[in-house]
Each structure stands twice: as C-alpha cells, then as structure tokens.
Copies of this chain bind each other. A is one copy, B any other.
Amino acid sequence: MAQSNLNACFSPKNVALIGASENIGVGRTMMFNLLKSPFGGTLYPINPKRESCLGVKCSKSIKDIPAGTIDLAIIAVAARFVPSTVKDCADMKVKATIIVSAGFAEMGEPGLKLEAEIMSYARPVGMRVIGPNCLGVSYSSSGLNATFAADMISPGKVAFLSQSGALCTSVLDYSKKVGFGFSAFVSVGSMLDVDWCDLIEFFGEDSNTSAICIYMESIGNPKRFIEACQKVTPRKPVVVVKSGRSAAGKKAASSHTGALAGADEICDAAFRRAGILRITQISDLFSLMELLNMQPIPKGPSLSIVTNAGGPGVLTTDELDIQGGILAPIDKAAMERFNAILPPAWSHGNPIDVLGDASPERFSDCVKIAVEDKNVDGILCILTPQDMTDPTATAHALKLLANCGKTFMVSYMGGLVIEEGATILRQAGVPVFTAPDLAARVFTYLSRCQENIKLIKEPIPAVPSLGFDLEKARKEVRGIYAKALETGRTILTEYESKKILAAYHIPGGTTELALTADEAVAHAKKIGFPVVMKVHSETITHKSDVGGVKVNIKDEAGVKAAFEEIKANVAKNASAKDFLGCVVMPMVTLKDSYEVILGSYVDAQFGPVVLFGLGGILVEVLKDKGLGLCPVNKTFALDLLQQTKIYTALKGVRGRAPVNIDELVVIIERFSQLIADHPMIEEADINPFLVSPDGIIALDARILVYDGKKVKEENVPHSCIPTH
C-alpha cells in the first residue's frame, strides 16, 4: 500500500491545495503551476477565508470534500497548522501529502515535535508524506506540477531528486535553456517519511524514467538505501552528487584502519556496493543529465572521436585515457571505408581527423562508419567553426544519426556561429557540449559505472559458504571476547585475537601460550626452532616498548633465557603483575614478502568496514588502501585489492613470483565475515600481515571490542549490506 500511495504523489486523480492563495507567495505560485500544467484530474483549492482562488471555487476545509476524493493534498500552511491539517487529510482518506511548509526539524525541539505529530496521523493509515520544507514535485507524464518553481519541467527521461530546493530551481532553469527535460523532479525536503529508498524504488519501476540523478546531503538508512539501489542500478543508472569530499570528518581512532578510513571514502565504498555513479562536479551533473536524457548508456568504454581539428581531438583523448576510457581501435574494414571517403591527409587513426574543410556529408559519413564498427561503443563528433565549416548544415546531417543505437554526442566548440547548429542537434536528441573533453569524461563515467554494476549482481548470502562451520566459529569467537569482557578488558591479547582469527580460518600461525619457562620450551620444541617469544599480558599493548619481544631464539636455553628476560623487562618497564607468561610462535621468514594491513573499523553510519592496504611504518603516509563494507564476497574482496597499488606488486613484479591472490581473497572474505558477524568487535588490525608467494600469515593481531556493560549489541552499527 505504501508504494501504491506514493504513486498518488506523481499521478494523482484529484488534488487539494491546502493554503491556496491569490496573495503573492507559495500558495499562489502553486495554484498557478497546478492550473497551467493540467494533471488530468480536478484541483480543489482550500482556504477557509476565500470563496474562490484564481477563478476556481475554494473549499473551507478538506473535510468539506467527500472522503476518498482527494489522492494528493499539497500543504502550504504555516508549520503550526500542519499537524491538524495532516490529521484531517488522514481522516478523509487522502493517499499522500506534499508538505512544502518550512519550520520543522530545522527549528530544533518544537519542530521535531510537530514532525512526530504529523507522522502519528499519517503512519497508521499509510498516507505518504513528502517534505516538509521542500519545493514540491513535478511529474511530466501526468502533467503534475506540484511545485512553487518558476516553471514546469519539459518531458524527459531522467528523474531528478534533490535535497536542495535551490539546486532544483537552478537545474530546472538550466535545462530550459539547454533544452532537455525530466521525467520527474522531486524536492525531498527533510524526508520525514518518503526517502531516497522509496523514490529510488518508485522510479526504478517507473517506465517513464530511464535514469535517476540525485543531489544528496545525507543518505538516511544505509541498509535500505543500498538494498533499493542494488535493485535498480543494474537496470537504470543512479547518479549521485554528494558533498562532503573535503569534510575533516575523520573520527579520532587508535587503529591504523580507523586513521585511514575517512568518512567520505566509506561513503564511496557504500555507493560502490549500491552500484551508484558518484560524481563531484556540478558541471558534470549538468552534462550527465543532458546525455542520459538523450542517448543510450554506453555498452562499453570504447569511444570513436570524429573531429575537424587535431588539437581538440588530442586533448579529448588525454581526458578519455586518464578517466579510463578507451580510444576505439579501427579495424581493417572500417579503415578501408574511411580511406575511401576521406582525403589522403586524414589521421588514419582514432581520433578520426576529417580535416578543416570537412563537408557536412564527410562528417556524417564518418560517424556512420563508426556507428557500424563493432569496436565502437560511443561516438563523439567535434566541430570547430573554421573558414570552410558549416555548423548548421553539419547539424542537419548529423541529426539523422541521433538514434543510431550507440551513445552519440557532439561537441560544437564555440559560441555564436555554432548556436543554431547546436540547437538543431539538441532538438533532435543529440547532446551538445562546448568542451569535448567533458563529453569524453561523462561518457567514461557512465561506462565505468556499468562495469561496477557487474560486481553487485552476485548476491551476498546470509550464511556464506566459507569452507568451515560458521555457526561453530561464531560461537567460539563470542566465547573468547565474552571471557575478556568478564575481566573488564576490551582490548584482547594477541593470543585471544589470534584465536579469533583461527576460528575463522585466518592463518595466524601457531601461537602457543606458556605460563612457565618449561611450558615455553615444550611449545618451542613442538613448533621447531627458531621461535619468537612475546609477553602475554592483559594490560600491555605495545609489547616491544617494554622489551616484551624476543626473536630468532634458536634453542632450549635461549627459550628459557628469553622467558626470564621478558619477565624481568616487563617487571622493570611496566610492573611484575603485567607479566602473565609468554606466547611462543615460529620465527616466520617468508621470502619476498610484503607487509600489508588487514583491518576493520565501525563507521557510525555504515557499520563495519574492512580495509586492506600497504602496511609498515609508512602506512599512514602512503595511504595505499582499499575500503569495503563488511561483509565482502570474493568479488568485492578482489575489488578491494584492486583499489590498491600494492596489488600490482602482489601479482608479481620485477621477477618476484606472484602471491596466491585466490587465497588472499578468501582470507579477506573470511575476515570481513568475522567482523560482520560480530558487531561487538569495534576494531581489528592484522598488522603486520605478511603476504608472500610462499604463504600468507597474520604476524600480529589486535582486536578491540565494545564494552558490553556500556554498549548494547543492538545499539552498535551492524553491517548494512543486504543479504539474500
């Protein structure tokens, strides 16, 4: 019912405008807009003080209209009257309301109270609420313009959803000038009820919409958001401009992972899991909207550039390459066709330089060849207005290719003399950009986004098959940290941390606990020499600082000596009671190994995050890392690796053998599952994590858990990855 009631916001039969007015202001503008663009039903202006409004008979109250008549009530009255108005709407079986009034959450406590009251009436009857504090909604296929914007959207294929009403007015005005349209325009306001998820699902199903563009300030419920997007993005691009790239929003954190994982980068990781294309520039948003409205999404990254000038062609190639696009190769058959129609001085390659004296026919014939070339996913035609160029006649020739089936874009570089041609092309459905490099960029963004979407098609199972008994492992892990919490510790010992890793079959090497020197000797003999010994302590976290680590111990005598030495060091540098024994482990020397880091961190919004990256002393300087939301499957574990530069080395460089990437992927998958399974794990760092052609091993591990007395498990952010 909720989703079908949402439909009333866009295709209502009858609409009430509560707060209709003839006085200059929102109530009058909305009245005008609703009348000027007929929505196919009846408009009921409501104002207790008026007989009529702009020639239309007014009702005193929505209560005067028979129940069930009104699908959509637009509420434009002062905030303090809104709750009672909403109650009336609910009573009269209104399906949905759009509250444009301001004065709610942004006013603090009193406003929040009003909001709670509104929802107390709306929720029980399933009445949907858009806003408050919004510009309203337009929907071109029904004709509804329930906004107080200056104009109605032109028909188009893109739904634009915005958390800024001001940006709506800008985008609308821009679109009018350039000449592209929208399927819908939604100013979401404070999203008291209807939120991104509702709208993404709605427009995902909406046959009038082929792409969704969003200006976002806050994401709302991340799990629902990702779930809604994952349903839609494989079929329709969802493009988001979200501010916050520069936010100094890093939480103070004691772990490397925490220090490395910026809030905005976690947001990027979430968008990646959602299949969203995030862009950062306002001009890119404008250009993408134009492209998405007019042309099909590229099926791949290969662009053919047809240009009448060399320089702009090369600059465009630079941008294409840097963004990860590909200059489509020209096969032999196409080359012969180009040779047949172009003067000998043509470039004989892509960019296809059709030369300064290109006629309209030469231009369009070359584009046709590119369209028919199976290597080509999109075509960009660049025109500079030279002495012998006829931009208008060329536009007439090119417009015939508007629906060629591939992504077709034009850059008319100039201002005045190219204007008529640009307009002709846009009217025919060809997007026209002043800067050709911008066209190459948005083309590549879209094709990259399509690549990313392939990743999200593989569902994450609730109980993944990891090659071991997951239920047993979960229980074991809970037992380990519960025990530590019993003694009041939230930082687990290395011994405990490694036991937790071992429960999830993450190789930490043998790590044996010895309470006496004799036990240590027994362990060492079993492990085989040389061994490493470290202090076992529930209080000391930086073991080397207190002289608590001895490496390369070669025999029994050495073990005994090390035990006593560590004990003495700890007593001296910390205190005797910090020493609880030693852990004994083999001395691991892996040839050609890399020191990496595998860690986790709980983001307040997105829950547990896994981080893989280059470790060592330079970890926070080089910041070579990949981030993902927990849990990852193998596909996203590999994606995590591929985000790093060190991945190139892991695959084998300069004669070094490659690391077993498959094994590493499995370990990352298991680690992320461990973290997702246990929301009480606040931070986990495997550092150093040794990765080499001969094996992969967690040399040290450090796990922090939330204090169960202070924080309840249900209050801790859980994984926001939907499972199926």
Which residues of A approach B to under 8 Å, CB–CB? 26, 29, 148-150, 162-167, 169-170, 172-178, 215, 217, 241, 243-246, 280-283, 286, 308-312, 314-315, 317-322, 356, 384-387, 413-419, 434-438, 594, 614, 617-618, 620-624, 645-646, 648-649, 653-654, 656
Contacts of A646 in B (CB 8 A): 618, 621-622
Residues of B within 8 A of A173 (CB): 385, 413-418
Partner of A434, one of B166, B286, B419: B286
Q: Is the CB of B385 within 8 A of A164?
A: no
**Residues in B neighbouring A281, C-beta threshold 8 A:** 319, 435, 437-438
Chain B residues with CB under 8 Å of A418's CB are 173
Pair A170/B387 contact, Cβ less than 8 Å: no
26 CB-based A-B contacts, threshold 8 Å:
A149-B387, A162-B311, A166-B308, A166-B311, A167-B311, A170-B384, A173-B416, A173-B417, A173-B418, A174-B414, A175-B415, A177-B419, A215-B311, A241-B315, A244-B318, A245-B321, A246-B317, A281-B437, A282-B312, A282-B315, A594-B618, A617-B649, A617-B656, A618-B646, A621-B649, A622-B645
**Chain B residue at smallest Cβ distance from A648:** B621
Docked complex Cα distance between A29 and B310 (Å):
23
Residues of B within 8 A of A280 (CB): 315, 318-319, 437
What is the CA–CA distance of A618 and B280 in the complex, to the nearest angstrom?
Answer: 31
Within the assembled complex, what's the spacing in Å between the Cα atoms of A437 and B167?
13
**Contact A26 B387, CB 8 Å, known A164-B311, A166-B356:** yes
CB distance from A512 to the nearest CB of B (A): 30
Contact A385 B150 (CB under 8 A): yes
Instruction: Knowing A384-B170, A618-B646, say if A243 contacts B315 (CB, 8 Å).
Output: yes
Q: Which residues of B contact A653 (CB under 8 A)?
A: 617, 620-621
Of the candidates B245, B414, B649, which one forms a contact with A618 in the assembled complex, judged by CB atoms under 8 Å apart?
Answer: B649
Give the number of copies in the complex: 2
Interchain CA distance A435-B285 in the complex, whole Å: 10
Q: In the bound complex, do residue B177 and residue A436 qualify as a contact, i.e. CB atoms below 8 Å apart? A: no
Nearest to A651 among chain B residues (CB) is B621
Q: Is A170 a contact partner of B414 (Cβ separation < 8 A)? A: yes
Which residues of the partner chain B approach A245 to less than 8 Å between Cβ atoms? 318, 321-322
Tell me the bound Cα distance from A315 to B387 in angstroms: 41
A148 / chain B contacts, CB cutoff of 8 Å = 387
Asked whether, in the complex, the Cβ of A170 is within 8 Å of the Cβ of B654, the reply is no
Q: Please state if A384 and B166 are interface contacts (CB–CB under 8 Å).
A: yes
| Chain B residues near A315 (CB-CB < 8 A) | 241, 243, 280, 282
Q: For residue A384, which residues in chain B have a CB less than 8 angstroms away from its CB? A: 166-167, 169-170
The winner among A173, A310, A315, A614 for most chain B CB atoms within 10 A is A315
Q: How far is the CA of A314 from the CA of B243 in the complex (A)?
A: 6
A318 to B315, CA, bound (A): 26
Contact of A311 among B243, B322, B436, B622 (CB under 8 A): B243
Q: Which residue of B lies closest to A618 (CB)?
A: B649
Query: B415 contacts A169, CB within 8 Å?
Result: no
* Cα(A624)–Cα(B169), bound, Å: 44
A243 CA to B319 CA, complexed, in Å: 9
Considering the chains assembled together, what is the distance between the CA atoms of A384 and B311 in angstroms?
A: 35
- In the docked arrangement, what's the CA distance between A620 and B437, Å? 29
Closest chain B residue, CB of each to CB of A310: B164
In the assembled complex, which residues on chain B have CB atoms less than 8 Å from the CB atom of A417? Answer: 150, 173
Is B385 within 8 A of A311, CB to CB?
no
Shortest beta-carbon distance, A265 to chain B, in Å? 13
Query: When the two chains form their complex, are residues A167 and B309 in contact, meaning their CB atoms are under 8 A apart?
Result: yes
Give the docked Cα–Cα distance between A414 and B173 (Å): 5
| A614 contact set on B, CB distance < 8 A | 618, 622
Q: Which residues of B contact A413 (CB under 8 A)?
A: 167, 170, 173-174, 282
Cβ-closest chain B residue relative to A166: B309
Q: Which residue of B lies closest to A282 (CB)?
A: B435
* Closest 4 A/B residue pairs (Cβ): A177-B415, A166-B309, A173-B414, A164-B311
Give CA–CA (A645, B619) in the complex, Å.
11
CA A309 to CA B162, docked complex, whole Å:
13
Q: Please report the C-alpha to C-alpha distance between residue A282 and residue B417 in the assembled complex, in whole angstroms.
A: 19
Contact present for B312 and A177 (CB under 8 Å): no
Expressed in whole angstroms, the minimum distance between the Cβ of A313 and any Cβ of chain B is: 9
For A217, give its contact among B175, B246, B283, B314 (CB under 8 Å). B314
From B177, B215, B311, contact of A416 by CB (8 A): B177
CB < 8 Å: which of B26, B434, B623 contacts A174?
Answer: B434
Q: Give A436 to B174 CA distance when docked, in angstroms.
A: 14
Contact A434 B649 (CB under 8 A): no
Beyond known contacts A166-B308, A173-B414, A173-B415: 10 more, CB 8 A cutoff: A26-B387, A166-B309, A166-B311, A169-B384, A170-B312, A170-B385, A174-B414, A175-B415, A244-B314, A282-B312
Picked from B309, B414, B649, the residue with its CB within 8 Å of the CB of A164 is B309
> Nearest-CB distance from A290 to chain B (Å)?
12
Distance in angstroms from A443 CB to nearest chain B CB is 15
Q: Does B311 contact A217, Cβ atoms closer than 8 Å?
A: yes
Distance (Å) between the CB of A462 and the closest chain B CB?
Answer: 37
Residue of B with least CB distance to A323: B246
- Minimum CB–CB distance from A541 to chain B (whole Å) comes to 14
Which B residues are in CB contact (< 8 Å) with A309?
Answer: 164, 166-167, 170
Most buried by B among A26, A149, A150: A150
**Distance A321 CA – B166 CA, assembled complex (angstroms):** 23
Q: For the complex, what is the distance from the CA of A352 to the CA of B413, rounded to whole Å?
A: 35
Report the nearest B residue to A163, measured CB to CB: B311
CA–CA, A150 and B621, complex, Å? 54
Q: In this complex, what residue of B is CB-closest to A167?
A: B311
- Is the CB–CB distance between A623 and B649 below 8 Å? no
Task: Chain B residues near A149: list those with CB within 8 A.
Answer: 387
Most buried by B among A244, A280, A414: A414
State the Cβ distance, A49 to closest chain B Cβ, in Å.
Answer: 22
